[in-house]
Amino acid sequence: MKTRHKGAAAAVGAAPGETRSPRVALRDRLRALQQASRQVFGIPDYERYLAHMAAHHAGDPVLSRREFFAHSIDRKYGKSGPRCC
């Protein structure tokens, strides 16, 4: 019979000594998988945009969800074509 270490229930990203419930750990892993799949398929991720704006452009205005997706579609399919940065 296998024995689990005392800290084995702690999920990746938890603070040292902190354990999270399996439900919270599963939710976090599913969220990470969703973000990764969006990135692979080129689907815009509004939550990632908000985190980027907060970390790198704190004083700048933030687009609404609707504006963000409209801008993303225009950027991808507009006359100027897809661009990086």
| Annotated domain spans of the chain | 22-77
Check residue 30 and give its pLDDT.
92
Q: Are 44 and 75 in contact (CB under 8 A)?
A: no
Q: How far is CA 35 from CA 16, 41, 58, in A?
A: 25, 10, 22
Residue tagged 């990746």 (tokens): 12
Q: What percent of the chain has pLDDT above 70?
A: 71
**pLDDT tens sequence across 25-66:** 999 999 888 888 877 876 788 888 999 999 999 889 999 999
* Pairwise pLDDT comparison (44 vs 14), residue with the higher score: 44
pTM, whole model, 2 decimals? 0.54
Distance, in Å, from the CA atom of 25 to the CA atom of 27, rounded to the nearest integer, reads: 5
Q: State the Cα angle at 13 between 12 and 18, rounded to 5°.
A: 90
Distance, in Å, from the CA atom of 10 to the CA atom of 22, rounded to the nearest integer, reads: 9
